[in-house]
Amino acid sequence: MDPQNQDVTHRRSDTPHDAKDAQLEQYRVHPAAKHLTTNQGVRVDDDDNSLRAGVRGPTLLEDFHFREKITHFDHERIPERVVHARGAGAYGFFEAYESMADVTCAAFLAEPGLRTPVFARFSTVAGSRGSADTVRDVRGFAVKFYTGEGNFDLVGNNMPVFFIQDGVKFPDFVHAVKPEPHNEIPQAQSAHDTLWDFVRNQPETTHMMMWLMSDRAIPRSYRMMQGFGVHTFRFVDAAGRGTFVKFHWKPRLGVHSLVWDETQKIGGLDPDFNRRDLWEAIDNGDVPEWELGVQLVAQDDEHAFDFDLLDATKLIPEELVPVRPVGRLVLNRNPDNFFAETEQVAFHTAHVVPGIDFTNDPLLQARLFSYLDTQLIRLGGPNFAQIPINRPVADVHNNQRDGHHQMRLDRGRSSYSKNTLGRGCPIVAGPDHGGYEHHQERVDGAKIKQRSPSFDDHFGQAALFWHSMADWERDHIVAAFRFELGKCDTHDIREDVVALLANVDTDLARRVGAGLGITPPTRTPAPVGEPSPALSIANNPGEGGIHTRRIAILAADGVGGDHVRAVAARLTEHGATCEVVGPRQGPLRASDDEEIEAPRSLLTMGSPLYDAVYVPGGAESVQALRGDADAREFLVQAYRHGKAIGATGEAGALLEHCAVPTDAPGVVVDADASAAFVDTFTTAIAAHRHYDRT
């Protein structure tokens, strides 16, 4: 049975990806195939030697297997995405909490418990496919809903605003943030002259630069990252009434980030850190989950704010318009083939379903053109929707024909509308049969190239963001500005950006300038209203506790085996993953003559790859670690990065030797590996970081 003829999207199911999975099954090639063949199905007798004239003679062009194999290899690469080139993806489902029929006729939001298969892709923006995961950058958060009414793509980022207001500036912004054209340096970084030269000449970037310099730009995990639709979209109900809507994804595990020094070390230790984290979590059954929420604004209230809803450099504070939870996203299956699925998935802001429409946001309007144009060049032509990962589960019937990679076998004589020879098929579906209707609104005005005056405030929400941060978040923002601007060779750029920050906050400009040897000019900063606590990472801890957190157990020969086993067992019960790291890989001799397996060594791992560190007792083990420079560095870095550190027995003396204060916040020391110790250590890990350390 053709899965496209089944309305399997809109049903409750324990395996909601069955609809899409069944569709993909016909394309899967299973590894149990018995014989190697050519693409024509001819079995190959020898795949190690090409056909040649004599043992040492020239290769013969008639070797069709060799020619096919090498030609295919020569054409394996397609153009990478200009932005969002490096990504990771997964399948799952979206489940609605309630009916949203009061504001939208979108069927996938129509019934409590309704599950829709999805594919989600997370990405960095600036870097190429080969760049590292943990760079300071915006992260893409795109979700493709395979609904019974067609595909809906919610294409967003992990930040609710963007750098520019009008899409005509997008090529300029991307050219500025990409490696500089004369020497192709630096890769996947914004810390260079051209980006900051763009910023100083484009004040509308100020709000987004505050987000980019915050810890939001260096997430601990895709699983611990918020997502936003960025733009104001429009819900449309069955009667044609519109409501403005902003989309929010909130992770169940909370919003957590790395620290800057840590990200740079991870880039060398494991450049696939975020990609690996997502894959392994799903592979281990620790499925990531986000809650979808919406901010709804009645059309009559379009102008009720001191900012413009159509301005993509602005957000609606949650304190003004609360986020209404409407469903959950669960990712529970990894792709079978990265290229075929994660690399070839094509998202487009114009992929909407009845009940969801656009607004006049000038940046959104540009994306409605640009995404399709991009897919045409990347994926070889207009039939990219027929690639398995992009195919909707809804029926597809139209008069579009031919083109590169056409895979449909359309039958019949008529390929036009209207027709009689084909009995009028396919016929348009009016509103009574689920046809998509654009929201009707009156639009008039003179043709003009001019920005609306309501877009003019470039500093008010940047100030709101700054004043909504915790003290440690402000410290990190200042350090980020200093690092980024310190990488700029042109003094005038550094000076002008500091002057720009003076429009946001006097103290911010003074602190950034102090690190660069620049005195900011005297400016009147933007007026500050009530802060928005929802903007602070500190106020988004989540409900996951220490679930899926990685704990390093630092040990050597002579380690207290009873301590290791007791603490690891209890932490595992709380959902953490414990891993023994030793001076070498393999079995370690414990003090009770039992063996403790160390799957990792200090040579290949570092504390930046873990969320916390536990050092068990055992005099011999502690003495060995004390004499190991890598072990000492492991602990010093963990402390410097604000992580929880636990020690039992003789290990407390090791912390003191490494100048790690045993009475510091998040450092838990006890003589015994008791249940009370584990409980206190667990609480310290759940806090994520302890930035109150001096």
Domain limit, last residue, from 510, 539, 568: 539
Query: Is 565 part of a structural domain of the chain?
Result: yes
Is the same domain home to 162 and 267? Answer: yes
Question: pTM for the whole thing?
Answer: 0.94
Is the same domain home to 236 and 304? Answer: yes
Query: Is 213 part of a structural domain of the chain?
Result: yes
Q: What is the mean pLDDT of residues 213-241?
A: 97
Q: Are 106 and 100 in contact (CB under 8 A)?
A: yes
Is the same domain home to 516 and 370? Answer: no
CA distance 645 to 635: 8
Q: What is the mean pLDDT of residues 180-195?
A: 96
CATH code (residue 492): 1.20.1370.20
Q: Is 67 left (phi over 0), alpha (psi -120 to 50) or beta?
A: alpha
Q: What is the mean pLDDT of residues 355-380?
A: 94
Is the same domain home to 513 and 604? Answer: no
Q: Is 254 left (phi over 0), alpha (psi -120 to 50) or beta?
A: left
pLDDT tens column, 425-449: 888 887 788 888 889 988 888 988 9
Is the same domain home to 126 and 243? Answer: yes
pLDDT at 4: 37
pLDDT tens column, 253-292: 999 999 999 999 999 999 999 999 999 999 999 999 999 9
Check pLDDT > 60 for residue 521.
yes
Helix %, strand %, coil % of the chain (to 5): 30, 15, 50
List, as one string, the DSSP characters of 595-634: EEEE-EETTT--GGGSSEEEE---HHHHHHHHT-HHHHHH
Q: What is the mean pLDDT of residues 89-94?
A: 98
Is the same domain home to 534 and 556? Answer: no
What 3-state class would DSSP assign to 156?
strand
Domain limits at 653? 550-686
Q: What is the mean pLDDT of residues 135-164?
A: 97
Domain limit, last residue, from 372, 390, 408: 390
pLDDT at 547: 95
* Catalytic residue list contains 157: yes
The number of beta carbons lying within 10 Å of the beta carbon of residue 495 is 19
Range in 81-95, 97-111, 388-402, 550-564 the model is least confident about: 388-402
pLDDT tens column, 346-363: 999 999 999 999 999 999
Dig out the tokens for 290 from the structure.
Answer: 């986000």
Query: Is 420 part of a structural domain of the chain?
Result: no
Q: What is the mean pLDDT of residues 80-86?
A: 96
pLDDT at 484: 98
CA distance 649 to 144: 52
Dig out the tokens for 342 from the structure.
Answer: 């994660």
Range in 1-10, 244-253, 605-614 the model is least confident about: 1-10
pLDDT at 20: 87
pLDDT tens column, 385-412: 999 999 999 999 988 899 999 999 999 9
CA distance 598 to 600: 5
Round the average pLDDT of the chain to a whole number and report it. 94
pLDDT band at 33 (very low <50, low <70, confident <90, very high): low
CATH code (residue 220): 2.40.180.10
pLDDT at 3: 33
Q: What is the mean pLDDT of residues 577-587?
A: 97
* Catalytic residue list contains 183: no
* Identity of the residue numbered 541: P
State the total domains in the chain: 3
Which among 17, 65, 84, 688 is annotated as catalytic? 84
Check pLDDT > 90 for residue 321.
yes
pLDDT band at 5 (very low <50, low <70, confident <90, very high): very low
Taking each helix axis as running N to C, give the angle between helix 362-378 and helix 170-177, from 0 to 180 degrees, rounded to the nearest 10.
60
Domain limit, last residue, from 390, 420, 438: 390
Is the same domain home to 231 and 193? Answer: yes
3-state SS string for 218-239: CECCHHHCCEECCCCEEEECCC
CA distance 254 to 226: 8
pLDDT band at 11 (very low <50, low <70, confident <90, very high): very low
pLDDT band at 338 (very low <50, low <70, confident <90, very high): very high
Which among 17, 65, 151, 157 is annotated as catalytic? 157
Query: Is 290 part of a structural domain of the chain?
Result: yes
Range in 3-7, 172-176, 258-262 the model is least confident about: 3-7
Is the same domain home to 589 and 528? Answer: no
Query: Is 356 part of a structural domain of the chain?
Result: yes
Query: Is 255 part of a structural domain of the chain?
Result: yes
pLDDT band at 2 (very low <50, low <70, confident <90, very high): very low
Is the same domain home to 519 and 655? Answer: no
The number of beta carbons lying within 10 Å of the beta carbon of residue 639 is 23
Q: Are 651 and 672 in contact (CB under 8 A)?
A: no
Query: Is 529 part of a structural domain of the chain?
Result: yes
pLDDT band at 694 (very low <50, low <70, confident <90, very high): low
Is the same domain home to 527 and 610? Answer: no
Taking each helix axis as running N to C, give the angle between helix 629-640 and helix 619-626, from 0 to 180 degrees, rounded to the nearest 10.
90
Query: Is 469 part of a structural domain of the chain?
Result: yes
Is the same domain home to 294 and 259? Answer: yes
CATH code (residue 594): 3.40.50.880
Check pLDDT > 80 for residue 7.
no
Check pLDDT > 70 for residue 220.
yes
Q: What percent of the chain is predicted at pLDDT more than 90?
A: 85
pLDDT tens column, 451-483: 999 999 999 999 999 999 999 999 999 999 999
Is the same domain home to 482 and 369? Answer: no
Check pLDDT > 70 for residue 15.
no
